[in-house]
Amino acid sequence: MRNFYRGNVSQFCMKRIKVRSIYLVFFILCGVNSWAASSDSAYVQPHKGSFTLKTRLYNNIFALNVRSLKENNETTYATNNPMNLGFGISHPKLPVDLFMGFGLGALPNDEYLRTKSFDFQIHKYGRRVVVDLFVQDYNGFYIEDSKLTPNEANCHDLSAFEIGLVAQYVFNGDKFSYQAAFNQNERQLKSVGSLLLGGGVYYFDIQSDGSLEPNMQKTMRSTQFGVNIGYSYNWVISKSWLVNGSLSLGANLGNDNINTFFNRQLYVNPMSLVRIATVYDKKRWALSFSFVLNMVGVEYNKDVESNLSFGRFNLTYLHRFNLSKVFEK
């Protein structure tokens, strides 16, 4: 099995620079307090002064789909990762939740090779701005095809590196609460939705010592910038039950070399961003299921369509503590 960073030293340094740049942009966005807005108390009720402990069962999602338009042949490369268990804390004054997780060990498909991965994601749900950050490095895939034996399906040499940053503006943020659906820092009192408008930047580097069926390429690289528009809706079923559904669609301009981005022929790739959440929220505790999936075209031309799907689903239990009352005692 080869090392993902098999290129020269300069190529490795460029990847590190891109990662640090995305981190910097993200934390700048987190610190911009001017985006904050007051909420309408008839629609949103905050859990004031709550220190929250969270236990989360989650799974990271990452898959590559390559389709030949000429031959009408399609191949899906999937990862084989265990479920993860994590523990975290949150507080209204913290810019993000503090969270740590670890793999549970058992693989969903024992007959296939185990994927080696680094997957770092932050999903920041502000009142007016939502930010999604993905930094992902996956080594070792298998082909989803029941006709192949495990040895034939395993792709030890295939690796994928991806950085993505998506920011969206929430137009109805004073009445609509993403935090109620995905963080449970607030409670949505009435059903309401909001228009979303945003943009994103992505970098992909996919490599194989063999070839990627069915387009017979060994390398796919793409740097993309794009815009998206969407809608999200919080449905308050009862005082404790909340369901959220969000869909954003967009288009990205990109090419395979960031250094000559505007000096070469640009192509347009589609993107979509889906969010789903179901929440049962009580005064001191909450149980939630949430799902975030970003789908982006890596290569889209008259011959080949290549798409990456990445994200995470969470099953979370949290308990709230009012520390001020503890200290008063």
Pick the closest to residue 112 from 73, 148, 60 (CA basis).
Answer: 148
Whole-number pLDDT of residue 5: 42
pLDDT of residue 16: 54
Q: Is the peptide bond before 214 cis (omega within 30 degrees of 0)?
A: yes
**Predicted local distance difference test score (pLDDT) of residue 329:** 45
What pLDDT shows up at residue 33? 43
Sign of the four-CA dihedral 88, 91, 92, 95: negative
Residues of the chain with confidence (pLDDT) below 70: 1-37, 49, 92, 95-96, 106, 211, 214-216, 257-264, 323-329
The span from the CA of 97 to the CA of 125, in Å, is 11
Q: Residue 218's pLDDT is what?
A: 82
Q: Please choose, from the candidates 263, 260, 254, the residue with its C-alpha nearest in 3D space to the C-alpha of residue 222.
A: 254
Q: Rounded to the nearest 5°, which phi and psi values hold at 74? A: -135, 140
| Structural domains of the chain, with CATH | 9-328 (2.40.128)
* Residue 297 and residue 69 in contact, taking contact as beta carbons nearer than 8 Å: no
From residue 149, alpha-carbon distances to 1, 10, 68, 82, 265 in Å are 19, 39, 23, 21, 40
C-alpha–C-alpha distance, residues 126 and 124, integer Å = 6
Cα–Cα distance measured from residue 21 to residue 13, given in angstroms and rounded to the nearest whole number: 12
In the three-class reduction of DSSP (H, G, I as helix; E, B as strand; rest coil), residue 75 is classed as strand
Contact 197, 204 (CB under 8 A): no
Residue pair 235/261 in contact by the 8 Å Cβ criterion: no
Q: Taking the mean position of all CA atoms in its chain, how far away is CA 143?
A: 22
Which pairing describes strands 73-78 and 154-170: parallel, antiparallel, or unpaired?
A: unpaired
Look at residues 256, 287, 251, 281 and name the one whose alpha carbon lies nearest to residue 268: 251
